Structure formats: structure tokens, C-alpha cells
Amino acid sequence: MNQKLFFTALIVLFVLSGVSHYGHWGTIPEFILSALAILFVAGFLGKATESVAHYAGQRLGGFLNATFGNAAELIIAIFLVRAGEFEMVKASITGSIIGNLLLVLGLSVLLGGLKYKEQTFNVQLAGHNSSLMILAVIALFIPAIFVSAEHFSIDQDRTLSISIAAILIIAYILWLIFSMITHKSILADEEVTTPDHGEEPAWSKTMSIVFLVVATVMTALVSEWLVHTLDSFSERFSLSAIFVGAFLIAIVGNAAEHSAAILLAMKNKIGAAVEIAVGSSLQIALFVAPVLVFVSMLFGETMDLVFTTIELAAIGVAVFIATSISRDGRTNWYEGALLLCVYVILGFAFYLV
């Protein structure tokens, strides 16, 4: 999209969303405007992060990109945590994971596969990612299993959730050390096919930092406005908190990844598309989820990591089929269609809850 057009839309939607919020225009216009605005501010935040990352040098830049890649989702989730909407937070974490693994990956593989008969990517990286993904699944399953099977008290439940959150953050830091320091070279082959982070950014260093600050503030504001409308919106259309969190919020919050991954797949860079989809899921599970546990402690009430049975089923199912499909390093349109079938099945099931 043309840059001037992008900024015009960004500013118009941001202003309209703010006006609708403070002017109490009502649930539907407020929801639509804040959802549209978040698409653009999240895109802006992503560009600003990339630009700052460029000036920060390769190593720190890689870290910034990896860690703040889901900044918009993190900010939305923090507002949900502050509002005590723990159920919706966990639903949106679930939704981000399955959205990335099924919708983003599914669309990328399907559309890429309609253009190219078979697309291939580095299998070794896929192997690493799948082991990390399994750690994430394990970490999210353990609390639910122990809490339900052993009738944990709230205290035991929170102690376990905090311990697991701490271990996940350690695992995440070790992964950064592994992939950016000790085994950078082994994973480097892949970098050729990743998005061209190397191209000259449009903004100067100072401007990039200013933009990053501005984008963060804008994202925070729009997130607050969006979160504010969610309760009355879901009530209005009799949608369950879990459906809103897992499908609506997750799709809106991940829109930037969606378009980036699909465009890459259609340029035959399926490896980069897979990396975006899987990497984003990993960040949500290994970094965003545990950070939110600690954030909730700052607000006075600890959020646990006990997901509901259907959330865990959805995550397990998504990881299982995405891992199975990406294991061989080849994709075709039918595999994309399969991922989308599973997404639609889950969408129906959550909608009926």
C-alpha cells in the first residue's frame, strides 16, 4: 500500500475511533472503528519496530523484531488483564496461536500453492520450531491437567502458573541465545528466504524512534477503546467471551502477520511465511502468555495459566496438524486447505459454545 495513503487511513481511523469512543456513538460503530483502527496502528507499530531494529544492528535488532513482533497483541492483552477479563485474555492467546497456525499458515500455503505446484523450505528449522511448539503445548496443558485431576487450590494453581511462566521466559531467553548467538550460522541459510529486513528503511534513526513511541501510544489507546466495547458487543450478538477472544480479537490483532505471510507465500517465499506464522505462535505461547502472568501480578490479581478444555483441544489440534504438515519441508495447496478446514471446524465449535 502506498505510504501516504496508509498514513491518511491510519490518522483518519484513529481520530474517528477516538471520537466515537469519547462521544459514546454506541457499541457497533465504536467496535467497527476501533477494530479497523487497530489494523492500521498495529501495522504502523510493526513498521516502526522493524525500522528501529534496522538501526539497532543485527543482533539487538533481531531481538527487538523477535520480541516486539507481537507488541500489538501484548498491548491489547495487557488492557484485558487490567480489566480483569482473564477468560478473554486466555481465549485471545488461544486464538492467536490457532489463528497463526491454521488461518495465516493455511491461507499462505493455499494461495502460495495455487500459484506454485509445490513450495519447499528448510526442514531443519521446522524441526526446531516443532520441538519449541511442543514445549509450549506442554506448558499450557500441565496446569489444566494438574488443577482438574488433583483438585488444586487457588494457591497451588497460582504457584504452579507462576513457576511455569518463569520457566517459559527462561526457555525463551535461551532460545534467543541459541538462535542469535551460539547457532546463528546453522540457522543462517534460512535467513536468505526471510523477509528483506535488510532493505534501507524509509525513516531516519531519530524519526524511527519517535514513530515507535508514537505507534506504541496509539496502539495502547486504540486497544483500550476496543477492549471497552467488547463486553457490550459480545452481549449484543450473544457471542461468548471465548469466541470473541479466540476469533475476533485474534484475527484483528494478527492482521499484520496475515498479510505479510500471505504476500511472501505468493512470492514463493513459503519458508518466510511459515516462519512468521510459527514464530508468532511461539512468541505468544512462550513470551506473551508468561509475561501476562507477571503483568497481572502488578495489577494485584494473579492470572493463572489454566486454559479450558476446549482451548487446549484447539491449541493441541492446531499444533498437531501444523507440525504434521510442515514436517517434510514441502507444501501444496491441499495442505493449506486442510489447515483451513480445521480452522473452520474450530470456528463453528467455538461459535456454538
Q: How many CB atoms lie within 10 A of CB 220?
A: 17
DSSP letter string, 296-313? HHHTTS-------HHHHH
Q: 168: which strand partners?
A: none
Distance CA 117, CA 189 (A): 23
- Our CB check for a second copy shows the closer of 253 and 290 to be 290
- Our CB check for a second copy shows the closer of 7 and 237 to be 237
- Our CB check for a second copy shows the closer of 37 and 168 to be 168
Q: How far is the CB of 97 from a second copy (least distance, A)?
A: 15
What does the chain come to in residues?
353
Is the CB of residue 329 less than 8 Å from the CB of residue 130? no
Is the CB of residue 39 less than 8 Å from the CB of residue 252? yes
Q: How far is the CB of 259 from a second copy (least distance, A)?
A: 25
- Our CB check for a second copy shows the closer of 24 and 151 to be 151
The x, y and z cell numbers of residue 5, run together, are 495513503
The type of residue at 158 is R
What's the 3-state SS for 165-176?
Answer: HHHHHHHHHHHH
- Our CB check for a second copy shows the closer of 182 and 204 to be 182
DSSP letter string, 35-47? HHHHHHHHHHHHH
**Residues with Cβ < 8 Å from 66, sequence gap 6 or more?**
176, 279, 283
Q: How far is the CB of 353 from a second copy (least distance, A)?
A: 5
Q: How far is the CB of 318 from a second copy (least distance, A)?
A: 9
Residues interacting with a second copy, by CB under 8 A?
A: 117-118, 124, 127-128, 130-132, 134-135, 138-139, 141-143, 145-146, 149-150, 152, 156, 159-160, 163-164, 167-168, 170-171, 174-175, 178, 182-183, 186, 308-310, 313, 317, 320-321, 324-325, 327-328, 330, 332-335, 337-338, 341-342, 344-346, 348-349, 352-353
Q: How far is the CB of 242 from a second copy (least distance, A)?
A: 9
Q: How far is the CB of 159 from a second copy (least distance, A)?
A: 6
- Our CB check for a second copy shows the closer of 8 and 131 to be 131
